[in-house]
Structure 1
Amino acid sequence: MSDPSYLSGDLAPVPDEIEAHDLEITGALPAELTGRYFRNGPNPRPGEDPGHWFGGHGMLHGVRLRDGRAEWYRNRWVRTRKFTENAPFVSDTGLDLTAVSANTHVIRHAGRILALVENGLPHEVTPELATVGPYDFGGRLTTAMTAHPKQDPLTDELHFFGYGFFPPFLTYHRLSPAGELVESREIEVPGPTMMHDFAVTENHLIWLDLPMVFDLNREGMPYAWEDGYGARIGLSPRAGGPTRWFDVDPCYVFHVGNAWEDDHGRVVLNAARYSPDAWFSLWRGIGGSVDPARHAGAAGAAALHRWILDPVSGTTKEEALDDRGVEFPTFNEDLLGRHSRYLYTVGSDAIVKYDQRDGSAQVRKTGGNTGEAVFVPAEGAAGEDEGWLLSVVTSGESSELVVLDAADLSDVASVRLPRRVPAGFHGSWFAEG
């Protein structure tokens, strides 16, 4: 009997933790790229079948770069209570927010490195990828934490949310630049949905209230598409106040690009959007349960989409920006919440750079499964795309950390990794002075 799709091919887990030093480099690494690249993703232990790609234990892959050298690679599982004790997430005493996979993202804020998954607490790890343990901001965080917090580049505040299976279904949180949880407030929504990402502009928080709804009676990943729930986008004032909701065509969104307010006060949001057909195909392919009679022939790919929300008139405009399949949109986060021109996305074997000013797209084939392209700005950059893109590219049993010039997607360098890195989710670059 063959392994399910989420345990085979590019998604197949690796069996152990290793490390290697003085890695082979092709090209020349910029000396300015001194720091650590970390990437997170699901990786069940040998013999485990989590039933869904999203269920595997979190594994961090790290590469240390310094002064033009690749000093080390190492991979480590995030040692949550689910990993070390097989602790249940749901029990007679309620939910254990430490019994999670911590498999989705890894960020740094206020000196702490945190591995994230949206249904539980963050887990702090060291710069060498050892797990310190769950972190609840001095006991103040009592909800889960999204894997996609947003750090305001002007204030260094960290904005995030937690969604729950029971009321309150959605709670907004804000950290100070020092890492103190200084604000928590409920955002009223009608039910528990799988809200993976959100966006922030100068004056607004942007919510994606979409029809993937929690269903405790479902086996495996407990979510199902519910047509009757509807689809809408919400705008909450960052300063506080009621949320304004805008109905949109049914869809699902895992990942937003950037968002901003235009000269007319309208909110512009770009994201990788799944049509209902594409969603059902994707969900079935990674282990989700769907009605087999629905949308059986569609390809499970998202495409770049834009919504323009007008808080004054209450109107919504939405438009497809491209029809090719892309995911994991990234950008120069020095412009988070403000107008940005460039957006970097990945296809199955390519990086696609969009110019949001003229609508053009530049495609760079990579020759393998291509991970999220993390943008690293050059020191003292004069242009928005002056810097590098870092991505893990895997072909067969070989993986490389690829460094491209973000301006023209040309080769800068690649670091040969000592093992295949399974397809995963999100990474970050942590610069060192």
Structure 2
Amino acid sequence: MTNRRRGTEPGALGGARGAVRRTGIPVIDAETVAAYGLPGHLRSVPDEIDAHDLPVTGALPPELDGRYIRNGPNLLPGMSGGHMQTGPGMLHGVRLRGGRAEWYRNRWVRTGVFEGRSLVRPDGTIDLTAPSANTHVVHHAGRVFALVEVGLPQEVTPDLATVGPCDFGGRLTTAMTAHPKQDPATGDLHFFGYGMRPPFLTYHRLDARGDLVHSREVAVPAGTMTHDFAITEHYVVWLDLPMTFQPALAGRGMPYGWDDAYGARLGVMRHDRPDAPVQWFEIDPCFVFHVANAHEDAGRIVLDAVRYSPGEFAALWELLSRAVEPPSPSAPAVGRARLHRWTLDPARGTAREEPLDDRAVEYPTLDDDRTGRPARHVYAVTGTEPLSRDECAIVKYDTAAGTAVSCPLGPATMIGEAVFVPAGGPRDEDGGWLVAIATTRDGTASRLLVLDAADLPAGPVAAVDLPRGVPTGFHGSWIPAPEEGRT
């Protein structure tokens, strides 16, 4: 699609013209790259680089003053095995200021696995400092953390250098989810850790200063893969779904499998009462990787999330769990998930389920100022399923009107998660920008796209040419200048 008024063409991605400096990590050889057998946009990059004064098409909003940082797995040179989801984490960052793209840089997150240590100690316990921090990057109380759900948070600098694992003064003794939720009213950061052995699920809360002030075990029958959760003004919403730890699968690297006998349920728990009970609601079997939001409505709890049916999830998990190997050219896309709503009524003990859309989407986002509160707008992306040949697009949902609009990006482009950046001053809920990295399907070039969230179909207002193809990754964050630390 070409937007003549804006002057950008998101389907045509060019390389940056700025000077590039490499940091000395050896370049991977072509034979090893080919051995990964991944589609071009998923292939790892071979090194760390810096580039400055990046070319911009269109006009960057001058109020965008900060860093966009995105995380994702990136195999080290010489790694020809492994899984699509488990390579060492790599952060890609772009610094925007005064209508300019000052720099791009990428850095591996140097965890224990990066340094060659094993996840499992000789006594059989898990080294929580070792896992690849490859899933998300968040900022809280002046610190930036790279996250993966099976390890401790890894602190990094705003310039992407690894500081090291963080256990908040020894208080955090479990892993930390890659999807913490910050309460916009209190500034508290709510999160959890799950494990293969008891305690299977533990709730934690950091206060606005970054101190871990509360932890408690949440009783569940078994170790389940709990990727995300939700908060409202007063509640935590748990997803206890039938992906259980199965020791027989340990050799595959991702030892969780579908368990029909486990069932599926959602739980609500007051987070303002230290020992509040959890009220559980049985739901139809499904799996959820990513929550859009939750809120309270006249005594009910409303949860919006991207739902996989058992069949779609089983096909997706089979693909994600096997070792990296060349996919069949005729292999169908798998793992189509759809935006779904559950309405939980604690007074009646009932759960109502309903689909909100029939298109396949993932990576739902929203204005973080609406986390846990009613939110009219949710953003998501299409065409992200592994091996998908569908045209990618960014979708904007109006949950009040029950409508959606989209920005197609052309058949040659893959798109990552679209992060909402609020505009300054008084604004409507969609007053702000969507920022995302787009990469050609062959992986040769990437752009950072900036779209007006209030006018999504108009296409990008600006595109920053990046100095390399950036692999399609997982999650990212916008870190505004007053919160980013040193520059």
TM-score range, shorter chain: over 0.9
Quote the offset at 1:239 in angstroms.
Answer: 2.1
Aligned to 2:28: none
2:102 aligns with 71
Alpha-carbon distance in 2 for matches of 1:121, 1:165? 15
Higher RCO, Cα 8 Å, sep 6+: 2
Q: Does 1:418 align with 2:467?
A: yes
**What's the CA shift for 1:380?**
1.1
Measure the CA separation in 1 of the matches of 2:349 and 2:181.
26
On the 8 A contact 1:259/1:339 being kept in 2, the answer is yes
Q: Deviations over 1:259-303 (max 9, x none)?
A: 0011x21100000111011101211222349xxxxxx98831110
Q: Measure how far apart 1:48 and its partner are.
A: 1.2
Q: Is the Cα contact below 8 Å between 1:268 and 1:307 reproduced in 2?
A: yes
Structure 1 CA distance for aligned equivalents of residues 332 and 396 of structure 2? 29
Match of 2:160 in 1: 129
Partner-residue secondary structure (3-state), 1:228: helix
Give the deviation of 1:217 after TM superposition.
Answer: 2.0
**Is the aligned partner of 1:408 residue 2:441?**
no
The separation in 1 between residues aligned to 2:91 and 2:51, in whole angstroms, is 15
SS at match of 1:364: strand
Corresponding position: 1:380 with 2:425: yes
Give distance in 2, aligned partners of 1:423 and 1:17: 16
146-155 or 7-16: which moved more? Answer: 7-16
How far residue 4 of structure 1 moved from its aligned partner, in angstroms, is 5.6
C-alpha distance in 1 between matches for 2:190 and 2:120: 25
Match of 1:237 in 2: 270
Within the alignment, does 1:352 sit opposite 2:395 as a pair? yes
Query: Which residue matches 2:372?
Result: 337
**Secondary structure, in 3 states, of the residue corresponding to 1:178?**
coil
Kindly indicate whether the alpha-carbon contact (under 8 Å) linking 1:281 and 1:298 is maintained by their aligned counterparts in 2: no
Hey, what's the Cα distance between the residues in 2 that align with 1:265 and 1:153? Answer: 20
Once the two structures are superposed, residues 14-73 of structure 1 have per-residue CA deviations (whole angstroms, 9 ceiling, x without a partner) of 111111000000011111101000000000112214532221100000001111110100
- CA spacing shift, 1:298–1:392, aligned 2, 3 Å: closer
Question: Which residue is equivalent to 1:293?
Answer: none
Report the counterpart of residue 310 of structure 1 in structure 2.
Answer: 345
Amino acid in the other structure paired with 2:425: G
Q: Could you list the per-position Cα deviations for residues 162-191 of structure 1 after superposition, in whole angstroms to 9, with x for gaps in the alignment?
A: 001111100000001110000000111000
Q: Note if 1:99 corresponds to 2:134.
A: no
* Whole-angstrom CA distance in 1 between matches of 2:280 and 2:120: 32
User: Out of 207, 210, 220, which is 1:179 matched to?
Assistant: 210
Q: Structure 2 vs 1, CA of residues 269 and 105 (structure 1 numbering), >3 Å: closer, same or farther?
A: same
**Superposition pairs for residues 258-273 of structure 1, below 5 Å?**
258-262=293-297, 264-273=298-307
8 Å Cα contact 1:277-1:299 kept in structure 2 = no
Give structure 1 stretches of 5+ with no counterpart.
290-295
Instruction: Give deviations 1:201-245, integer Å, cap 9, x for gaps.
Output: 011100000011111221221111010011100101112311000
Alignment CA distance shift 1:369-1:229 (3 Å): same
2:389 aligns to what? Answer: none
The aligned counterpart of 1:212 is 243
Q: Displacement of 1:401 after TM fit?
A: 0.4
1:423, distance to aligned residue in structure 2 (A): 0.9
Q: Which residue of 1 aligns with 2:408?
A: 365
In the alignment, what sits opposite 2:88? 57
Asked if 2 retains the 8 angstrom alpha-carbon contact of 1:278 and 1:298, the reply is no
Contact 1:281–1:297 at 8 Å: present in 2 too? no
Moved more, 79-88 or 26-35: 79-88
Q: Unmatched 5+ residue regions in structure 2? A: 1-30, 324-330, 384-391, 483-487
Query: Aligned partner of 2:342: which letter?
Result: W
Which residue in the other structure is 2:292 paired with? Answer: 257
TM-score (norm. length: structure 2): 0.85
Output one character per residue of 1:358-394: Cα deviation in whole Å (capped at 9) or x when no partner: 1111011112111000000101142000000000001
On the 8 A contact 1:303/1:325 being kept in 2, the answer is yes
Deviation at 1:135, TM superposition (A): 0.6
Helix, strand or coil for the counterpart of 1:182? strand
What is the SS of the residue equivalent to 2:321?
coil
Residue 80 (structure 1) aligns with: 111
Secondary structure of 1:285's aligned partner: helix
**Corresponding residue for 2:308?**
274
| AA aligned opposite 2:400 | R
RMSD: 1.6
In the alignment, is the contact (CA less than 8 A) between 2:58 and 2:462 conserved in 1? yes
8 A contact 2:316–2:334 mirrored in 1: yes
**What SS does structure 2 have at the residue aligned with 1:31?**
coil
User: Cα gap change, 1:401/1:131 in structure 2, threshold over 3 Å: closer, same or farther?
Assistant: same
Identify the residue that residue 446 of structure 2 maps to in structure 1.
399
CA–CA distance in 1 between the matches of 2:120 and 2:102?
38
Shift in Å, 1:91? 3.6
User: % of aligned pairs identical?
Assistant: 60
Could you tell me whether the CA contact under 8 Å between 1:51 and 1:287 is conserved in 2? no
Which residue pairs with 1:196 in the alignment?
A: 227
**Residue 428 of structure 1 pairs with residue 477 of structure 2:** yes
The residue type equivalent to 2:256 in the other structure is Y
Residue 224 (structure 1) aligned to one of 248, 257, 263: 257
Residues 267, 68 of structure 1: CA spacing in aligned structure 2 closer, same or farther, 3 A cutoff? same
* Alignment correspondent of 1:292: none
In 2, distance between residues paired with 1:89 and 1:63? 35
Structure 1 runs of 4+ off > 6 angstroms? none
Residue 90 of structure 1, CA deviation: 4.9
1:145 aligns with 2:145: no
Q: 1:111 to 1:402 in 2, by over 3 A?
A: same
The TM-score, its normalising length taken from structure 1, stands at 0.95
Task: Please state whether the residue corresponding to 1:282 is helix, strand or coil.
Answer: helix
Write the letter of the residue equivalent to 1:239: D
Q: Which residue identity lines up with residue 388 of structure 1 in the other structure?
A: W
**In the superposition, relative to structure 1, how do residues 111 and 281 fare at CA in structure 2: closer, same or farther (>3 Å)?**
same
Matches of 1:4 and 1:359, distance apart in 2? 42
Is 1:320 aligned to residue 363 of structure 2? no
Per-residue deviation, 1:8: 3.5
